[in-house]
Amino acid sequence: MQEKKIKDFNSYKKEYERSVKFPEKFWEEKANNFLWKKKWDKVLSWDFTKPDVKWFIGGQLNITENCLDRHLEKRGSQIAIKWISNNTDEPNRDLSYSQLHKEVCKFSNVLKKNGAKKGDRICLYMPMVPELAIAVLACARIGAIHSVVFAGFSAKSLSDRINDANCNILITADGAFRGDKITPLKHISDEAMQNTPSIDKCIVLKSTNSDINIKSGRDVWWKDEMEKVDKNCTAETMDSEDPLFILYTSGSTGKPKGIVHSIAGYMVYTEFSFRNVFQYNEGDVYWCTADIGWITGHSYIVYGPLLSGATTIMFEGVPTYPDAGRFWKIVEENKVNIFYTAPTAIRSLEAKGMEFVTPYDLSSLKVLGTVGEPINEDAWHWYDKEIGNENCPIVDTWWQTETGGIMISNLAGVTPSKPSFATLPLPGIQACLIDENGKELEGNSVEGKLCIEFPWPSMARTIYGDHNRFRETYFSAFKNKYFTGDGALRDENGMYKITGRVDDVLIVSGHNLGTAEIESAMDEYENVCETAIVSFPHAIKGNGVYAFVICHEEAGNPDVLRKEINDLVTKIVGPIAKADKIQFVSGLPKTRSGKIMRRILRKIASGDSENLGDTSTLLDPSVVEEIKLGSL
Ligand code: WT7
């Protein structure tokens, strides 16, 4: 049923060449391995100027039949989801493919019973428990569009996202365990729902046994509803290009963008990339430590692995609870073969010391992966030596919420790796670098802005409700190219190294944050007049958040003020957006046209204030001197 994987460097090269010469034929072959209700009439139509991209046009399918139903005969009793609790005294839960199928069908009926219809948007604000995956798949089964909001976001962020997509149902839980803390999800949801007129129903899962309020008529319990419904649910017939989900990501300006992915292309690409990048073999135990609230969890905890019939681990907790050995204990106990995490996690566990690693038997590991931000060479070598015993290929996977799947990465043990390099594009991915003048850089040993010049199946189709912004953000910088927002270099062998964002997006602990989002949250504080946010290198988080803040009146106690500003950021955006450093200043370096020169602030924030480059366009150079003196 499944296609063979690419097995050696030569066949990678051949496949890559074929995918560029005959892209439609290449992807059609992959698509043929899935279950379709009706096959497509045309493989691809595209126009990057609009942009308008469609794959497998005229095809009909349901992605959950490909994740679940088609596996039942061969692997009904194989574990699909292996769930590991945050709390070490709570039993783990295994769901076989047939159990997962049954739960998904039942919950699909719960959704319908509560008024959900094909095309509706449903918001999920949940802990990392199997019910989150069940709810995601149930939405897909009935043709509703899921919008998962990470359970670390604030009430304001949640209501903004619900309102942007006009969701009619919210699925949440009483609370979420996170280490020794509980996040009160239902309380936060209640606060959000004071502001979300479109929500008719809220389905609540009992997870932490916390005290919560139930509003009758609106709120129903997950468990009660599951007892009332039939266990069979026919999968809705969907068109290839119907939307599968919306997932919000920060932009360099304005509010978060609701990235829309469509069904068929996303399905074909996540399966293909999962099996080839990780070189997944039948029977492997696979663990991606991300949260399903991010794209990594969507593509490589839920869809990619389940489409491939894999056993995917879902971990509810955090890497440091009850201690910094938790990841390695889980690897040992579950004989994990493929392990996929973020550089931030690697760096923070490295810093805790080897006494948390040595006690565990990590010999089951075969492949290691990283994602979310550049991995520095030190962390790469520590991961390779101390976790992989110099015996596991490391895949450094570069991609984005917008790309849906892994774009540039070595294939584990098949194509060469190079520390801190994402290396080569996957078959089907036509990457290129563009110089300051908008010209494509030919040949090797060059550096520029990373773009993609041909469509791939899992690319985002639009920003929900704002196609103009989609075109502006990704397709207007360079004609006929998708612009990633990242800078990159290509070495003498054609291998790519991602050098970081070239726009006003910050990658902090592998999370994508918009400067504008944090700035406007801080500006809400009454004594704050204006702020400028930049990133600075941070040993554990990759980048930290540095805030330059102008106040109306001098602060009494600056540390109290710093805390209050950060509390407000936590409330408005979420704790991940808190500033690591807040410097109070009397002015910001601006151009004559009033634009903040972030380049200068970035230099100062990085402690490199001697080399500020060209400052001749500054309106008032003395501001810079003051900021330099006061930098933290
Ligand atoms: C941005 C996308 C894709 C899953 C998680 C993040 C950065 C991602 C790498 C990598 C260097 C990376 C880029 C990208 N990034 N992976 N392997 N090496 N940088 O998704 O939140 O949409 O963020 O993360 O800057 O543009 P996201």
For 25-35, what is each residue's pLDDT tens digit?
999 999 999 99
The pTM (predicted TM-score) of the whole model is 0.94
Which of 260, 512, 513 for a ligand 1 pocket mutation test, highest count of atoms within 8 Å of Cβ? 512
Q: Domain for residue 231, yes or no? A: no
The protein residue whose alpha carbon is closest to atom 17 in ligand 1 is 398
pLDDT at 254 over 70: yes
Q: Band of the pLDDT at 616, cuts 50, 70, 90?
A: confident
- What pLDDT was estimated at residue 67? 98
Which of 400, 409, 450 for a ligand 1 pocket mutation test, highest count of atoms within 8 Å of Cβ? 400
The protein residue whose alpha carbon is closest to atom 2 in ligand 1 is 400
Q: Which of 467, 501, 535 lies at the terminal end of a domain, its last residue?
A: 501
What is the 486 CA–ligand 1 centroid distance (Å)? 9
Pairing of strands 181-183, 176-178: antiparallel
pLDDT digits (tens, 9 = 90+) for 273-331: 999 999 999 999 999 999 999 999 999 999 999 999 999 999 999 999 999 999 999 99
Q: Residues 493, 522: one domain? A: no
- What pLDDT was estimated at residue 376? 92
Contact 154, 191 (CB under 8 A): no
Q: Residues 461, 526: one domain? A: no
Q: Residues 495, 510: one domain? A: no
Q: What gap in Å lies between CA 309 and CA 2, rounded to an integer?
A: 10
Q: Domain for residue 517, yes or no? A: yes
Nearest to 80 by CA among 58, 61, 95: 95
Which of 257, 300, 373, 473 for a ligand 1 pocket mutation test, highest count of atoms within 8 Å of Cβ? 373
Q: Residues 472, 558: one domain? A: no
What is the 6 CA–ligand 1 centroid distance (Å)? 24
pLDDT digits (tens, 9 = 90+) for 107-126: 999 999 999 999 999 999 99
Ligand 1 atom closest to Cα of residue 401: 22
Q: Residues 539, 583: one domain? A: yes
Q: Residues 569, 493: one domain? A: no
Q: What gap in Å lies between CA 547 and CA 184, rounded to an integer?
A: 28
The protein residue whose alpha carbon is closest to atom 8 in ligand 1 is 372
Ligand 1 atom closest to Cα of residue 484: 26
Output phi, psi for 458, to 5 deg: -95, 20
Ligand 1 atom closest to Cα of residue 296: 4
The protein residue whose alpha carbon is closest to atom 14 in ligand 1 is 400
Q: Which of 501, 518, 545 lies at the terminal end of a domain, its last residue?
A: 501
Q: Residues 509, 627: one domain? A: yes
More confident position, 394 or 590: 394
Q: Residues 487, 582: one domain? A: no
Q: Domain for residue 382, yes or no? A: no
Q: What is the residue type of 618?
A: L
Q: Count of domains in the chain? A: 2
Q: Residues 524, 621: one domain? A: yes
- What pLDDT was estimated at residue 179? 96
pLDDT at 197 over 80: yes
Contact 98, 64 (CB under 8 A): no
Rg of the chain's alpha carbons, rounded to an integer?
24
pLDDT digits (tens, 9 = 90+) for 459-513: 999 999 999 999 999 999 999 999 999 999 999 999 999 998 988 889 999 899 9
Q: Is the CB of 293 under 6 A from ligand 1?
A: no
What is the 82 CA–ligand 1 centroid distance (Å)? 26
Burial of 11: CB neighbours in 10 Å, binned 0-12, 13-18, 19+ = middle
Nearest to 46 by CA among 486, 464, 453, 467: 453
Nearest to 457 by CA among 241, 238, 266, 244: 266
Q: Domain for residue 332, yes or no? A: no
Q: Domain for residue 210, yes or no? A: no
What is the 381 CA–ligand 1 centroid distance (Å)? 20
The parent domain of residue 550 ranges over 505-631
Q: Residues 627, 558: one domain? A: yes
Contact 16, 425 (CB under 8 A): yes
Least confident stretch, 42-56, 292-306, 413-427, 528-542: 528-542
- What pLDDT was estimated at residue 1? 62
Question: Mean pLDDT across the chain, nearest whole number?
Answer: 95
Q: Domain for residue 93, yes or no? A: no
Q: What gap in Å lies between CA 434 and CA 438, rounded to an integer?
A: 6
Q: Is the CB of 296 under 6 A from ligand 1?
A: yes
Q: Is the CB of 103 under 6 A from ligand 1?
A: no
Contact 504, 253 (CB under 8 A): yes
What is the 592 CA–ligand 1 centroid distance (Å)? 34
pLDDT at 201 over 90: yes
Q: Residues 523, 621: one domain? A: yes
Contact 588, 550 (CB under 8 A): yes
pLDDT at 594 over 80: no
What is the 221 CA–ligand 1 centroid distance (Å)? 37
Q: Which of 473, 501, 529 lies at the terminal end of a domain, its last residue?
A: 501
Q: Is the CB of 257 under 6 A from ligand 1?
A: no
CATH number of domain containing 528: 3.30.300.30
Cβ partners under 8 Å of residue 211, min gap 6: none
Q: Domain for residue 491, yes or no? A: yes
Q: Residues 518, 619: one domain? A: yes
Contact 57, 28 (CB under 8 A): no
Pairing of strands 79-84, 311-315: parallel
Q: Domain for residue 586, yes or no? A: yes
